[in-house]
C-alpha cells in the first residue's frame, strides 16, 4: 500500500496511539556492487521483503520500553512504570533484575524509557537511561557491576543532561549512540506545540550530546545540543550502513512520519504534519495514517528501516535507496502480537522486537509483554 495513499484518520497519535487525554552501535553492512566506472554503488533492497518470527526470547514483562543488547548476547530491558532494568538471558530468556533507577516518576507516557550502552562499555561498563523525573525528562548514566547481588548491580545515577520538558504525553525517550560515538536523544513537545519551533527549547527536538552530556562538536547551532527541530514526539532513531540517521515521529490527526535526518533542518511541527508544500520544512520520506502506525522504535537491517507500530500493531518495512524509500512500505505481523514498541538489530538479518500491551492502552494476553526474535529480508 502506497504510503501517500493510506487513509487520513481522526484521533490523535500520541506516544501510544490514543487521544491526548488517554490514560495511561555499529550499523550492519549493506550490499554494494560496482558501477561501470568501477566505483562502489549502493544496491537497493527488493520491493517485497519477508518477516519470520523465530522465537519468543522472553515473556511476562511489565511495560517494557528500552532495549539494549549486551556484548555477550543478553539484553537489558527497562520497565517504564516499575523504573527497573532487567537482564534477559539471550538463550534461555531467564529474567534477572539488575536494579531500580532512583528518581523515576512514571505517569501517563512518562517513566523509565530509553536505554543505551556507552560506546566504551567494554571498559567503562556504563549504561545510559532516559527517564521522567518529578520535574523534567533527563538522561543519566550508571555503572553496571555484574559482580554485585541481583537487584543491586546499578551504581548511583550520574545526571549528564536535564531540563527536557515533561508532560503526561509526548515525552520522547529514545536514546542511542551514533557511529560518531555521540549520544542522540529524541524528545517530545510534552503537549505544548509551541516548543517544537523554539530552538531555545529542548522539547520537540533531536539532541546530539557528548557522552558527558555537553553539546556535541559540530552541532548546527552554536553551543546548543539541538540537532534538528520541528518535531512532535520522536521515539525512533537508527542509522543505516552509510551512517545516515533516520527518525520515527508520531503525528496527531493525519500523518505519522519516518524522516531522514539532516542537521539543522526544521521538520515542520506544528505548522506541518506529514508532507508539506512549504520548502522550509523537511518532508518525511514515508508517512502513514495514524491508525496504521503510531511509530515508536526503528532499526536498520537488510537495506530497510523496520518500524514498530503501537496503535497500528504491526511491523513496517521501508526499503531504502539512499535517504528515499525505494518502494512502498510493507506491513508484517499485523495484529498478531498487539502493540509493538521497540526494534533493535540482533545481527545480520535478525531483529529483536518488544511488544507493549501492558502499558494501559493495550489488551494484554497470556505471556505479555514479550521480546521476539525475528528474521527479516
Whether 295 shows a pLDDT value over 80: the answer reads: yes
Question: Which set of grid coordinates corresponds to residue 119?
Answer: 560506546
* Model confidence band, residue 41 (pLDDT cutoffs 50, 70, 90): low
| Residue entry with cell 561498563 | 125
The whole-number average pLDDT for the span 217-244 is: 98
Q: Are 159 and 130 in contact (CB under 8 A)?
A: no
pLDDT tens across 323-349, in order? 999 999 999 999 999 999 999 999 999
Average pLDDT estimate for 267-295: 97
Can you list the alpha helix ranges (DSSP code H) found in 326-376?
none
pLDDT tens sequence across 153-187: 999 999 999 999 999 999 999 999 999 999 999 99
What's the pLDDT tens digit per position in 5-18? Answer: 343 333 445 566 54
Residue-wise pLDDT tens digits, 83-126: 999 999 999 999 999 999 999 999 999 999 999 999 999 999 99
Percent of all residues in the chain with a pLDDT value above 70, rounded to a whole number: 89
Domain count for the chain: 1
Number of C-beta neighbours around residue 168 at 10 A: 19
> In this model, does residue 200 exceed pLDDT 80?
yes
Give Cα separations from 333 to 41, 246, 315 (angstroms): 32, 22, 6
Q: Is 130 left (phi over 0), alpha (psi -120 to 50) or beta?
A: beta
Confidence at residue 357, expressed as pLDDT on a 0 to 100 scale: 98
As a whole number, mean pLDDT of residues 197-202 equals: 98
Can you give the pLDDT at residue 138?
A: 99
Residue numbers of the domain that contains 137: 3-376
CATH code, domain carrying 21: 2.120.10.30
- Average pLDDT rounded to a whole number, residues 282-305: 97
Alpha helix segments (H runs only) across the chain:
121-124
Amino acid at each position: 500500500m502506497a504510503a501517500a495513499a493510506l487513509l487520513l484518520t481522526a484521533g490523535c497519535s500520541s506516544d501510544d496511539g490514543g487521544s491526548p487525554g488517554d490514560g495511561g552501535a555499529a550499523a550492519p553492512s549493506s550490499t554494494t556492487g560496482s558501477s561501470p566506472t568501477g566505483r562502489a554503488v549502493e544496491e537497493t533492497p527488493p520491493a517485497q521483503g519477508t518477516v519470520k518470527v523465530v522465537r519468543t526470547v522472553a515473556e511476562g514483562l511489565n511495560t517494557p520500553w528500552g532495549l539494549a543488547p549486551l556484548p555477550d548476547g543478553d539484553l537489558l530491558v527497562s520497565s517504564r512504570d516499575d523504573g527497573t532494568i532487567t537482564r534477559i538471558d539471550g538463550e534461555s530468556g531467564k529474567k534477572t533484575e539488575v536494579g531500580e533507577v532512583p528518581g523515576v516518576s512514571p505517569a501517563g507516557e512518562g517513566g523509565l524509557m530509553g536505554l543505551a550502552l556507552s560506546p566504551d562499555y567494554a571498559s567503562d561498563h556504563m549504561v545510559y537511561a532516559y527517564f521522567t523525573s518529578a520535574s523534567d525528562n533527563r538522561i543519566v548514566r550508571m555503572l553496571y557491576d555484574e559482580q554485585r547481588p541481583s537487584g543491586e548491580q546499578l551504581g548511583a545515577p550520574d545526571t549528564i543532561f536535564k531540563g527536557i520538558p515533561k508532560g503526561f504525553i509526548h515525552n520522547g525517550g529514545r536514546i542511542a549512540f551514533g557511529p560518531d560515538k555521540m549520544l542522540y536523544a529524541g524528545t517530545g513537545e510534552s503537549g505544548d506545540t509551541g516548543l517544537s519551533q523554539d530552538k531555545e527549547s529542548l522539547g520537540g527536538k533531536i539532541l546530539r550530546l557528548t557522552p558527558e552530556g555537553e553539546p556535541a562538536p559540530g552541532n548546527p547551532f552554536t553551543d546548543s545540543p539541538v540537532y534538528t527541530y520541528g518535531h512532535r514526539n520522536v521515539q525512533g532513531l537508527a542509522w543505516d550502513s552509510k551512517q545516515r540517521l533516520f527518525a520515527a515521529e508520531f503525528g496527531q490527526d493525519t500523518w505519522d512520519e519516518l524522516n531522514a535526518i539532516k542537521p539543522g533542518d526544521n521538520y515542520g511541527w506544528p505548522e506541518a504534519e506529514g508532507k508539506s508544500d512549504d520548502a522550509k520544512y523537511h518532508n518525511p520520506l514515508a508517512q502513514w495514517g495514524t491508525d496504521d502506525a503510531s511509530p515508536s522504535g526503528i532499526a536498520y537491517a537488510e537495506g530497510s528501516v523496520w518500524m514498530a507500530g503501537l496503535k497500528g500493531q504491526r511491523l513496517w518495512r521501508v526499503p531504502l535507496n539512499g535517504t528515499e524509500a525505494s518502494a512502498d512500505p510493507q506491513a508484517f505481523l499485523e495484529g498478531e502480537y498487539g502493540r509493538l514498541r521497540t526494534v533493535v538489530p540482533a545481527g545480520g538479518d535478525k531483529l529483536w522486537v518488544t511488544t507493549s500491551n501492558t502499558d494501559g492502552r493495550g489488551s494484554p494476553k497470556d505471556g505479555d509483554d514479550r521480546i521476539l526474535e525475528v528474521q527479516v529480508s
